[in-house]
Amino acid sequence: MLNIDLSGKRAFVAGVADDGGFGFAIAKALAEAGASVCVGTWPPALGIFQTLLRRGKLDESLAMPGGGKLEFERVYPLDAEFDTFDDMPEEVRDNKRYKEHGDVSIQAAVERMKKDFGAEPSADGGFLDIVVHSLANGPEVKNVLLETSRKGYLGALGVSAYSMISMVQRFSPIMRRGGAFLSLSYMAAERVIPGYGGGMSSAKAALESDTRVLAFEAGRKYGHRVNCISAGPLASRAASAIGFIGEMIEYTKTNAPLPEALTAREVGATAAFLCSPLASGITATTVYVDKGYSAMGKAL
């Protein structure tokens, strides 16, 4: 039997703050395949997330198919807007939701992992195998592109696209050769989705383009693979903030070859495959997990 086997591998999933989004589903799928999983959580949401975990409020979602429950190896504070501590403005460092965590940059997550796991490197010096970028934020996402400011546009690109470049830069050296990077995109990267504004469509397009270039560069330098999943709409907490996610789910159900709503688990399973040795020949690729909606050229 051909199974997805990630036994002995360690994953870092950036962008997990609850049990309702793609990040959590991917983390769970990786764990079901045998990987140990660390997650990075946005500092303002970290306290609530840890409280929910501690009080057992997420136990039903954490339940594993074979019994027991998913236990995250580590939960790190992470704000992907910042590459290093020096990039964090004074007002952010002093903010009460950040101050207790200190350095929450991408580089800080790398350094924390070095401190926690650096004593167990492999022959090639690595102790990490999988990095998942499940991050997106557009401060002006409700503004149409014509009404988006330069600051809002660049903010969307910085957090939603450049952060992937930064993560490949900074995590690659602590990964075992043959590691896997994965990010999450959306159809707005290539087609018009009215209402998905603030530069987010541009950020997703950049993310998919960068996937191809990063795959070449990281593949030649480290032997790592870089892929992207373009997922259909899901009513996660983050997506619901856009305001019309329910409409998009119904529209996709009506028009897709498989007329049913996408589940987070379906994206999680695809992610586990793409990060596994079974996908060793797949890199620089955007994989559509959307019930086939992306193939349609005419609404029903």
Average the pLDDT over 79-87 and give the result.
98
| DSSP-assigned letter for residue 174 | G
Active site residues: 186, 196
Higher-confidence residue: 105 or 236? 105
Query: Can you list the alpha helix ranges (DSSP code H) found in 94-244?
Result: 96-99, 106-117, 150-157, 163-171, 200-222, 237-240
What pLDDT score does 123 carry?
65
Residue 221: CB atoms within 10 Å: 10
Residue 56: CB atoms within 10 Å: 10
pLDDT beyond 80 at 239: no
Cβ neighbors of 259 (< 8 A, separation 6 or more) are 253, 291
Beta bridge partners of 79: none
What pLDDT score does 127 carry?
97
Average the pLDDT over 71-89 and give the result.
98
Q: Which residue has the tokens 């207790």?
A: 100
Q: What domains can you pick out in the chain, each with its CATH number? A: 10-292 (3.40.50.720)
What value does the mean pLDDT of the chain take? 95
- pLDDT band at residue 42, thresholds of 50, 70 and 90? very high
d(CA 235, CA 245): 6
- State both tokens at 21: 């989004």
The tens digit of pLDDT for each residue in 249-287 reads 999 999 999 999 999 999 999 999 999 999 999 999 999
pLDDT beyond 80 at 68: yes
Helix axes 264-274, 22-32, angle to 10 degrees: 50
d(CA 89, CA 85): 9
What pLDDT score does 241 carry?
67
pLDDT beyond 90 at 242: no
d(CA 195, CA 97): 30
Of the candidate ranges 12-21, 111-120, 235-244, the one whose mean pLDDT is the lowest: 235-244
What pLDDT score does 93 carry?
97
- State both tokens at 207: 């993310």
The tens digit of pLDDT for each residue in 169-196 reads 999 999 999 999 999 999 999 999 999 9
Average the pLDDT over 35-48 and give the result.
97
Average the pLDDT over 226-251 and give the result.
87
Cβ neighbors of 243 (< 8 A, separation 6 or more) are 142, 195
pLDDT beyond 90 at 101: yes
What pLDDT score does 2 carry?
87
Average the pLDDT over 213-223 and give the result.
98
pLDDT beyond 80 at 237: no
pLDDT beyond 80 at 71: yes
pTM of the model: 0.96
